[in-house]
Amino acid sequence: MCGIVAYVGERDASEVLIEGLRRLEYRGYDSAGIAVQSGSRLELRKRQGKLSNLTLALRENPVQGNLGIGHTRWATHGRPSDLNAHPHTDCREQIAVIHNGIIENYLLLRRELEAQGHTFRSQTDSEVIAHLVEKYFTGDLSAAVYRAVGELQGAYAIVVIAAGTEQVVAVRTVSPLVVGLGEGENFLASDVPALLPYTRRVIFLADGQVAVLDRHQVRITNLRGRPVEVKPSTVDWNPVMAEKGGFDHFMLKEIYEQPQVIQQTLGGRLIDQSGDVDLGLGLDFSQVQRVHLVACGSAFYASCVGKYVLERFARLPVEVDLASEYRYRDPVVPEGTLAVAVSQSGETIDTLEALREARRRGAKTLGLVNVKGSSITREVDDTLYLHAGPEIGVASTKAYTGMLCALVLLGLHLGRQRGTIDQKQASWLIAELRRLSGLVQQVLDHAEAVNELGRRFQNARDFLFLGRGINFPTALEGALKLKEISYIHAEAYATGEMKHGPIALIDANMPVVMVATESAVYDKVISNLQEVKAREGIVLALVSEGDTRAAALADAVIQVPRVSELLSPIVNVVPLQLLAYDIAKRRGLDVDQPRNLAKAVTVE
Ligand code: F6R
């Protein structure tokens, strides 16, 4: 959360900063601001609300300069306003700071600094950093920053510039920062997409590292100023991957990328003849006796599917935990535990902390992560990458399907190693996996049927989503997609649980989305469907192609191609994503930047 960009070179800094922020707006859109060094002064422009407000302000009142910092905010301390927008400055506006994260001891620091005569303008925790740097600044910016961060407690990424100093100084503790290396210019950002138009040579800063950039060089040190050896990496994403490519929204583009993502996640990892899976990992799974899956949000729902898959394929006991719960519940982590952190961004702080907790208790650790070089990938014993490409839409879609595919691969791999799946079964599953991409494409090719339901139900006040077995998480994910982008209240229940309470909600105004595709519990689902109909509920049934029983009872149906039940969540989630998207669009909402949300949640 909070997008960070910095630039030093020969270009017009404000252009580079705005372009970078445009590519990072998904990280927060409560306010935006830039500070540019202009002669011996710092020029600031800050606006509450979306980036477009800031660009308008810059059109009326441009800034000139070749060094600057920019920020899009997701508010923690202090409401969204022009004043609370970053960058924040010291008393004399000679030092400007942008910050992502939380300074836990800011109140104490603020009182001390105020007692020493510093005047504060905002209610943010971030402003203390500017005043602390001011306190220690005697001409050497990095020296002042080292001293200032020595007093800060919390998790943060900060970037500091000072009038008359040709340097950008950035510090990372927990919140991500990436340096982009150029020729005669250097860049810095919280995420890779902001750098893609300029360079693909990057340095991912690790926790406790400081980067000092000028136009000719980048120096990396520890928090005490000692140089640290780091190797630049080359990112394999290209700028086009982070563009909308003709779609109205990133979310829609990403929904339509799913057939390709499935191929990329599975690609090269399936060995047809032997029925084996080559994950390309060094991690030794032979001693694994149980699995703990930790994740948040959609990644948690993907992990719930993972539990079914891993238990079925590998016959290992699997626990799934919300990461924010796991780390505080004193989990039992016996010898032989494999802790798997599932995360698109690889930066979600709750997931990272849960992983650390598991590791402290002796677990082996594996990351199922999309973003290369992200924090989780640095801390785990090994990473199985999703290869989903950059996901920009705040509501996760293609990373979710990537996670499901990766979990299936992991299950298959463990199953083959443990002898719980024989070659024949495995080869059959691999053949099914190879069909998946085409099946998802078929769903996308019939999106108009889903859009018709969007038209009919766009004004509903509440929705109930029901799913059973391995598709209970599909219902949870469908409800989450709908609420986060359309702001319609949606609840998900395990279909069999409906009669234990939620059935009281059902009346003629309550659309009930029921996952009723072919499964071992299909007959039971049909009985549950009848129970809803008996109470005048409106049923939108997700059924397998050619189904007649569910279709005969439901008010509306969405057909999906038939596939093995264990892989059905990968196909079934797609119409639910399309439904959420269509309804949100019809309601005129900002699909890619839903209110109060931001991508990559780096605060607890
Ligand atoms: C929902 C959504 C969030 C994320 C969650 C975890 O559409 O995007 O619920 O799934 O914040 O994020 P990652 O996967 O980056 O750890």
Tens digits of residue pLDDT in 79-89: 888 888 999 99
Confidence of residue 244 (pLDDT cuts 50, 70, 90): confident
Same domain for 217 and 344, yes or no, is: no
- DSSP states of 258-310 as a string? HHHHHHHHHTTTEETTTTEE--------TT--EEEEEE-HHHHHHHHHHHHHH
Structural domain count of the chain = 3
What pLDDT is attached to residue 473? 98
Same domain for 43 and 165, yes or no, is: yes
Same domain for 161 and 177, yes or no, is: yes
Confidence of residue 318 (pLDDT cuts 50, 70, 90): very high
What pLDDT is attached to residue 84? 87
Query: What CATH number does the domain containing 469 carry?
Result: 3.40.50.10490
Same domain for 264 and 237, yes or no, is: no
Give the whole-angstrom CA distance, residue 480 versus residue 490.
7
Q: How far is CA 340 from CA 34, 176, 347, 384, 421, in A?
A: 39, 21, 14, 10, 21
Cβ of 165 less than 6 Å from ligand 1:
no
Same domain for 235 and 255, yes or no, is: no
Cβ of 298 less than 6 Å from ligand 1:
yes
Give the whole-angstrom CA distance, residue 184 versus residue 181.
9
Give the whole-angstrom CA distance, residue 420 versus residue 82.
60
Q: State the average pLDDT over residues 335-360.
A: 96
Burial class (CB in 10 A: 0-12, 13-18, 19+), 327: buried
Q: State the average pLDDT over residues 238-257.
A: 90
Atom of ligand 1 nearest to the CA of 351: 16
Alpha-helical (H) ranges within 384-493 are 398-418, 423-445, 447-457, 472-486
Strand partners, 320: 293
User: What radius of gyration, in Å, describes the C-alpha atoms of the chain?
Assistant: 25
Question: Tokens 């009848």 identify what position?
Answer: 530
Same domain for 203 and 316, yes or no, is: no
**How many A from CA of 348 to the centre of ligand 1?**
8
Beta carbons of 128 and 116 less than 8 angstroms apart: no
Strand partners, 471: none
Cβ of 602 less than 6 Å from ligand 1:
no
- Whether residue 594 is predicted with pLDDT greater than 90 in this model: the reply is no
Same domain for 459 and 404, yes or no, is: no
What pLDDT is attached to residue 27? 78
3-state SS class at 232: coil
- Residue that finishes a domain, picked among 440, 459, 477: 440
Give the whole-angstrom CA distance, residue 239 versus residue 230.
25
| Digit-coded pLDDT (tens) for 123-158 | 899 999 999 999 999 999 999 999 999 999 998 999
- Residue that finishes a domain, picked among 197, 213, 241: 241
**How many A from CA of 437 to the centre of ligand 1?**
23
The set of residues, in sequence order, having a beta carbon less than 8 Å from that of 396 and lying 6+ positions away, is 297, 298, 299, 344
Q: State the average pLDDT over residues 91-100.
A: 96
Token digits for 536? 């005048």
**How many A from CA of 526 to the centre of ligand 1?**
32
Same domain for 340 and 483, yes or no, is: no
Give the whole-angstrom CA distance, residue 469 versus residue 471.
5
- Residue that finishes a domain, picked among 207, 241, 275: 241
Token digits for 39? 């002669």
Q: State the average pLDDT over residues 536-555.
A: 95
- Whether residue 601 is predicted with pLDDT greater than 90 in this model: the reply is no
- DSSP states of 346-370 as a string? S--HHHHHHHHHHHHTT-EEEEEES
The conformation of residue 447, written as its DSSP 8-state character, comes to: H
Same domain for 254 and 334, yes or no, is: yes
3-state SS class at 15: helix
Amino acid present at 458: Q
Give the whole-angstrom CA distance, residue 397 versus residue 382.
24
**Which is it for strands 88-89 and 95-103: parallel, antiparallel or unpaired?**
antiparallel
3-state secondary structure 286-297: CCCCEEEEEECH
Q: Which residues participate in catalysis according to the annotation?
A: 2, 599
Give the whole-angstrom CA distance, residue 366 versus residue 349.
16
Token digits for 47? 């606006």
Return mean pLDDT, the chain.
Answer: 94
Residue among 604, 578, 572, 601 at smallest CA distance from 591: 578
The conformation of residue 227, written as its DSSP 8-state character, comes to: B
Same domain for 371 and 337, yes or no, is: yes
Beta carbons of 174 and 102 less than 8 angstroms apart: no
What pLDDT is attached to residue 305? 98
Cβ of 367 less than 6 Å from ligand 1:
no
- Whether residue 274 is predicted with pLDDT greater than 90 in this model: the reply is no
Cβ of 601 less than 6 Å from ligand 1:
yes
- Whether residue 346 is predicted with pLDDT greater than 90 in this model: the reply is yes
Same domain for 90 and 161, yes or no, is: yes
Q: State the average pLDDT over residues 548-563.
A: 95
Token digits for 430? 């691999």
Give the whole-angstrom CA distance, residue 276 versus residue 232.
34
Question: Tokens 């599932």 identify what position?
Answer: 342
Q: Is the dihedral of CA 233, 234, 237, 242 positive or negative?
A: positive
| Digit-coded pLDDT (tens) for 397-439 | 999 999 999 999 999 999 999 999 999 999 999 999 999 999 9
**Which is it for strands 168-173 and 154-162: parallel, antiparallel or unpaired?**
antiparallel
The set of residues, in sequence order, having a beta carbon less than 8 Å from that of 111 and lying 6+ positions away, is none
Instruction: State the residue range of the domain holding 469.
Output: 446-604
Confidence of residue 593 (pLDDT cuts 50, 70, 90): confident
What pLDDT is attached to residue 411? 97
Beta carbons of 29 and 51 less than 8 angstroms apart: yes
| Digit-coded pLDDT (tens) for 478-515 | 999 999 999 999 999 999 998 899 889 999 999 999 99
Percent of the chain whose predicted confidence (pLDDT) is above 70? 100
Same domain for 80 and 194, yes or no, is: yes
Strand partners, 338: 291, 364
Give the whole-angstrom CA distance, residue 543 versus residue 555.
12
Residue among 522, 361, 150, 115 at smallest CA distance from 129: 150
305, 340, 348, 375, best to mutate for ligand 1 pocket (most atoms within 8 Å of CB) = 348
Atom of ligand 1 nearest to the CA of 300: 10
What pLDDT is attached to residue 78? 76
**How many A from CA of 600 to the centre of ligand 1?**
7
- DSSP states of 78-107 as a string? S-SSTTTSSPEE-TTS-EEEEEEEEETTHH
